[in-house]
Structure 1
Amino acid sequence: MRIPFIGSLLLTVALAFPGLAAGQSVRREKPTIILVHGAFAESSSWDDVVVRLARDGFHVVAAANPLRGVASDGAAISRIVKATEGPVVLVGHSYGGPVITEAAAGNGNVTALVYVAAFAPDVGESSSSLSGKFPGSTLESSLTSVALPGGDKDLYIQPEKFRAQFAADVPPSRAALMATSQRPIALSALAEPSRVASWKALPTYSIYGTADRNIPAAVMKFMAERAGARDTVAIAGASHAVMVSHPAEVAAMIEEAANAK
């Protein structure tokens, strides 16, 4: 039995497309797609991807990533995976990459990992260490912070810099909404080293934009090659918000991973 809601961690998007009417079961051979957003985003960033996946008969869960730390966030997503009947494809954007890498560990129903403009860390690597592996990220200069108890900080992208930094190929009106609804990430989460590298044991797929200003394209190319990705797509001129600006291409890669034998 699928459990579509778990506390405040899940946002399940149920759409009335043919084959997904209320009360109608999802075809058993289709895996559940669990989408995990990254920093400075939230679950609605997947909306246009969800529409396409649901239309093609997939059960989709857009999970609320707490953005507090790789281990704790990975555990939160892992609980969703464990509560899901049947095979699962995990999809992570940006910092969501380390989270799905962590969440896949110990869950035998995960069949593939899809990295969407995302970090795919090895053991001991962090988002911060990987982003600096090659030049090109301008994220640091666009950030502002809010102090947290205990000395940590919540990081936000300054609203006036959000579109240029995060979503340069997204229409201005939508980028403005994204800037307003962005969710902060704890500074410590970006520096937290990964404990597992699930991509070494699972089929991996990668899609990213060549004009990404958060994670340099060279970094994502390096990670995809290192992981032996079954398919890698670099979209010319696409920003970090590639799932918003190019939802058709992102959905197609997720379906490729889901349908692979």
Structure 2
Amino acid sequence: MSTLPTLVLVHGAWHGTWCWQPLIDQLPDLDIRTVALPSSGQNPAVLGGLYDDAVAVAKAIAAVSGPTVVVGHSYGGSPVTEAAATTGDVRRVIYLSALMQDAGESVLSQVGGVHPPYWDVHENPQGRAEHSYFEASHPLEILYSDVEPHLAQQSIARLGRQSLASVTQSLTQAAWHTLPSTYILCEQDMAIPLPLQEAMATRAQHTERLRSGHSPFLSQPAELARILRKQLELQP
């Protein structure tokens, strides 16, 4: 097994650990851990919020006996930002076309307080925010624009629901203030526009670019693996 840090992978909204498999296949020599976020799943009644996700990320980091590098994709950047600074031996946080926020910010505030058009929002009619959720509208165009068609359809079939609490709860701390960070820009992303990525990436010490859509772990796993390996090798 490699002497490089353990790689902890945190998926984005609607997804699960399954989405990382093509990337993992490209890195057979690394110790890789994946985190299943409680905010994503099929049953709205049991979905967690941002803070539940941060606890899951923290537990995964704490379970590693040595140094880690933590990758957050899309929404996954939020619980990573919340959890990584105060748990374990994290050497670097990598934002993969991800939300890179500061303390006091939420996902919704980051996008101007308005639900993006590709969020199909279902608010609980009884006013119970913990049961409100949203689904991905037009996932083929928004999430998987450059993914091989058969794999894209398989992925769409596995998408879950995402709790509204995960995007309305605000961060209490931001790991990138105290930890080295890298932002990987996905230049053809239809979910998080490139100008927004570039604005957030100004907070990172290092940036990389991929000519990919929103999900390069499916569309360009070999190239993404190359970039991640380079980041791992930067560590002491």
> Which TM-score bucket, shorter chain as reference?
0.7 to 0.9
**1:209-240: per-residue Cα shift (whole Å, max 9, x none)?**
2221211111111111123x22x12323x211
| Conserved 8 A contact 1:205-1:253 | no
The equivalent residue for 1:253 is: 227
Structure 2 residue identity aligned to 1:48: P
Q: In structure 2, what is the Cα distance between the partners aligned to 1:50 and 1:170?
A: 17
TM superposition score normalised by structure 1: 0.79
Amino acid at match of 1:251: A
Match of 1:168 in 2: 145
User: In structure 2, which of residues 210, 213, 232 is the aligned counterpart of residue 235 of structure 1?
Assistant: 210
The total of aligned residue pairs comes to 224
Aligned residues of 1:75 and 1:102 also touching (Cα < 8 A)? no
Q: Secondary structure at the match of 1:95?
A: helix
* 1:62 has 2:37 as partner: no
How far off is 1:82 after superposition?
1.1
Give 1:153-232 correspondences, 5 Å limit.
Answer: 153-158=132-137, 161-227=138-204, 229-230=205-206, 232=207
TM-score (norm 2): 0.87
Counterparts of residues 1-261 of structure 1 (less than 5 Å): 26-27=1-2, 29-54=3-28, 57-67=29-39, 68-132=48-112, 140-146=116-122, 150-151=128-129, 152-158=131-137, 161-227=138-204, 229-230=205-206, 232-236=207-211, 238-260=212-234, 261=236
Aligned equivalents of 2:77, 2:12: Cα separation in 1: 8
Does the residue aligned with 1:121 lie in a helix, a strand or coil?
coil
* RMSD over equivalenced CA pairs, Å: 2.0
Identity %: 29
How many angstroms does 1:105 deviate by?
2.4
Partner letter of residue 23 of structure 2? V
Residue 147 of structure 1, CA deviation: 5.0
Equivalent pair of 2:61/2:88 in contact (CA under 8 Å): no
SS of equivalent to 2:14: coil
Matches of 1:252 and 1:131, distance apart in 2: 30
